[in-house]
Chains A and B, each alone.
Chain A
Amino acid sequence: MNTRLKIICILFGVSYLFLIGQVIYNEVIPEFVAGFKEGVKSVAKQHTGDETKESLPELYSFYVKPLSGSFTFPTPLKNLKTGKLVNAETNTFKIVLNTPVKLPGWIAIAKIIYKLSAFLILFFLIYIPILVYKLTRSIIQNVLFDEINVKRIRRIGYSILVLFGLLVFSSLVCTAEAKNVFSFEDYKIVHSLGVDYYLLLIGLITLLFAEILKISHKMKEEQDLTI
């Protein structure tokens, strides 16, 4: 097997695992732990007979931009190293609210769809690594120019694009919801996809690669059938 191809495959596998691991470690586990703690707290309240009707806390996560424009650093922060105030700026907020806020009908419906789409996102987050694993294993086994591999790469591309669409939708819903609930002194709520825009590029590049591989497969087939 081509050594360069093998090295790229191994690097790809390692970086993909690292990326997934990082997301799980930084995002999934803390969210799960926080949710679990809230659940335990809620159950404990029920057992102790605390009848105060308190709804489950709602987490809001959204992008913000300083009202005075980017790179204006409107937030003072105390630097404990020097004890002095430093000017800072943030781009994301994560806010938890214990009191429920009544949302307009269309946002409430969009939020239900957004919550249901979480299952689809989960499906793709499992489906894409499976396809990547099968593809990598196939390449390592020296089967590159294969119709199945073309289909796999195409499926990966389409899955990434659908995932991107779902993330755009969820981001739009979160922003609309946050705009309805919050208004800040120094910051305005903005819609942004952050690093998710890379998914669009990755999806399109994957589809492009699938088409190139399809043409290469056809050429190899012709080459093999030239007597």
Chain B
Amino acid sequence: MSIIVNLDVMMAKRKISLNELSEKVDITPANLSILKTGKAKAIRFSTLEALCKELDCQPGDILEWRVEN
């Protein structure tokens, strides 16, 4: 998919672990892992909002569009 999820980059920048973030945004670690590894098909606005709030960033910092090869 040409949409890249940069959640791992943001998590590294904020020095937060997957389990910690999953507790804060109330998402299971399994689902957050799916999102982090780019396996997710879609993301809810509520999830994006919670992630942006916890990571103190913009949606564009988490999601990125790249031209598909």
Question: Closest CB of chain B to A171's CB: distance in Å?
Answer: 49
A-B interface pairs (CB < 8 A), number: 23
Complex interface residues of chain A between 42 and 80 (CB less than 8 A to chain B): none
What A residues does B44 contact at CB under 8 A? 226-227
Q: How far is the CB of B11 from chain A (nearest CB, A)?
A: 15
Q: Give the complex CA separation of A95 and B27 in angstroms.
A: 74
The size bracket of the interface on A is under 10
Which chain B residues have a beta carbon within 8 Å of chain A's beta carbons?
A: 27, 31-32, 34-35, 39-44, 47
Dominant SS among interface residues on chain A: mixed
A contact residues around B39 at 8 Å (CB):
225
**Contacting residues, chain B, for A225 (C-beta < 8 A):** 34, 39-42
Neighbouring A residues of B27 by C-beta, 8 Å: 227
Nearest-neighbour CB distance to chain B for A80, whole angstroms, equals 73
A217 shortest CB reach to chain B, Å: 13
A222 within 8 Å of B (CB atoms): yes
9 pairs of A and B residues whose beta carbons are closest in the complex: A225-B41, A226-B42, A227-B35, A222-B41, A227-B40, A227-B31, A225-B40, A227-B47, A227-B43
